[in-house]
Amino acid sequence: MIGILFCLFCQLDTLEVKFDNQLQILRMFPEQSETVIQDWIRTGSAGLPYLIRTFSDPQTDMFVKEKIALAFGGIHDHGVLTLLYPGLKSGSSEFRANCCRAIGELADPSSFDFIIPLIKDPNDAVRAEAIYALGKLRDPRATPYLIEALKDSVFINRARAIVALGDIGNKNMIPYLAAYRSDPNAAIRISLAKSLGLFQDQAILPVLEPMLQDEDPIVRREAFNALTRTPGDESTELFRNSLTDPDPQVRDAACAALINYLPENAVPLTYEFLKDGNPGVRETAVRTLAIIKYKANPGFEAILTADRPLEMKHWALINLVENYGIAAVVDRLMQIFPDKFRDRLEKIVHGEYEMGMGKDELYLSLGKPTRTRSTGGEVEEWDYDDLGKVFVFRSGILTGIGNPE
């Protein structure tokens, strides 16, 4: 027991020394404040007593208090709210703003009445953080205040109000927000796209669809991202526009956003991004597939049962085998295609072939042939250079296997 207490004492002592050193760094090198704040946040509740003690000390300079306020928001301990509320009346505008930001991060509904007065604060940054906080509180009572904030003299605050209305998620606001679709300020249109995505509702699609052709690529990027947060086939069909967007950065961002879609929607689109003409987009598609792959079996299975190109179906089958294993895939395919013979499915899954296979079956088994040619009538030949084989089909059925001449 003595040993445990000693270790605990040493740990506390180490934390206190570390905290004191961080305070010195903060005061001597203000440009390192973000690094110090993130370190406090990573320390979490263990460092909270030191932060509270310093924050509450009347002798602590305002600069340090301003930074601790931000750390409080990142640590997400609601017990600090009573310390942050008085800061909303501080003479320091940055302190008011940072306290407001932290309260927003904590997202406690009881904070609503404390935030409302700051919507009309004379300082632009304070109003910005008050707008942000109201959105994070997700209290419908904030709607009229945010509508009023849409008239703010600072465009960034108007943009924040648009996003905050999306945070609250009142669908009745979608037609109202639609007016900002043609705002001359790109930042407003970008915020509108972000806001629409937060609704996660098909009602946004008529507003969002024209934004997919916006002149600003960042607006288009956010619009495609919003689509991935909106369920439904219509959303997925609109998203296909991203495949042909002229800006590779937009395509890249759209591909990365596919992780938000259900697998049956995301998987076919990921496949198409894998064939993009830009190497950066293809790399993103590879990373996206790696993220979704092991929960995407429904998507791969959906490809096999849908009207999809054979090349895509072969790719889906390969991924299913990697996910399930050969035996499990055969069992699963027997459920999906009960009219198929098990031995034929086993051949396909193993990447083998036999007489009597149809062209589709051979393609699923071996993939795309090196060359195909018709020799007249109903005869067709497929060359597979890697196998050194020529497969001959008559009326779509494999009737001969030979060697290339």
Residue 1 has pLDDT above 50, yes or no: no
Q: What is the pLDDT of residue 339?
A: 84
User: Chain-wide mean pLDDT for the chain?
Assistant: 93
The CA–CA distances, whole Å, from 172 to 129, 167, 356, 360 equal 24, 13, 60, 50
Q: Which residues pair with 371 in a beta bridge?
A: 383
Helix (H, G, I), strand (E, B) or coil at 139: coil
φ and ψ at residue 397, rounded to 5 degrees: -115, 135
Q: Which residues pair with 392 in a beta bridge?
A: 381, 400
Q: What is the pLDDT of residue 231?
A: 86
Q: What is the pLDDT of residue 6?
A: 32
Q: What is the pLDDT of residue 109?
A: 92
Q: How many CA atoms lie within 13 A of 320 on its CB side?
A: 27
- Give the largest CA-CA distance in the chain: 95
Residue 249 has pLDDT above 70, yes or no: yes
Q: Percent of the chain, pLDDT > 70?
A: 97
The CA–CA distances, whole Å, from 268 to 229, 263, 275, 298, 391 equal 17, 9, 12, 11, 29
Q: What is the pLDDT of residue 9?
A: 37
Task: Give the helix ranges, DSSP H, for 150-216.
Answer: 155-168, 174-177, 186-199, 205-208
What's the pLDDT tens digit per position in 344-391? 999 999 999 999 999 999 999 999 999 999 877 789 999 999 999 999
- Is residue 192 within 8 A of residue 225, CB to CB? The reply is no
- DSSP 8-state assignment for residue 358: B
Residue 28 has pLDDT above 90, yes or no: yes
What's the pLDDT tens digit per position in 282-317? 999 999 999 999 999 999 999 999 999 999 999 999
- DSSP 8-state assignment for residue 259: G
Residue 76: other Cβ atoms inside 10 A: 14
Q: What is the pLDDT of residue 341?
A: 87
Residue 11 has pLDDT above 60, yes or no: no
- Mean of pLDDT values over 12-23: 81
Measured distance CA(286)–CA(134) in Å, rounded = 38
- Mean of pLDDT values over 112-135: 97
Q: Percent of the chain, pLDDT > 90?
A: 89
Evaluate if pTM is beyond 0.85.
no
Give residue for tokens 């206190």: 16
Q: What is the pLDDT of residue 13?
A: 54
What's the pLDDT tens digit per position in 152-192? 999 999 999 999 999 999 999 999 999 999 999 999 999 99
Residue 266 has pLDDT above 90, yes or no: yes
Q: Distance of alpha carbon 393 from its chain centroid, rounded?
A: 46
Measured distance CA(380)–CA(359) in Å, rounded = 10
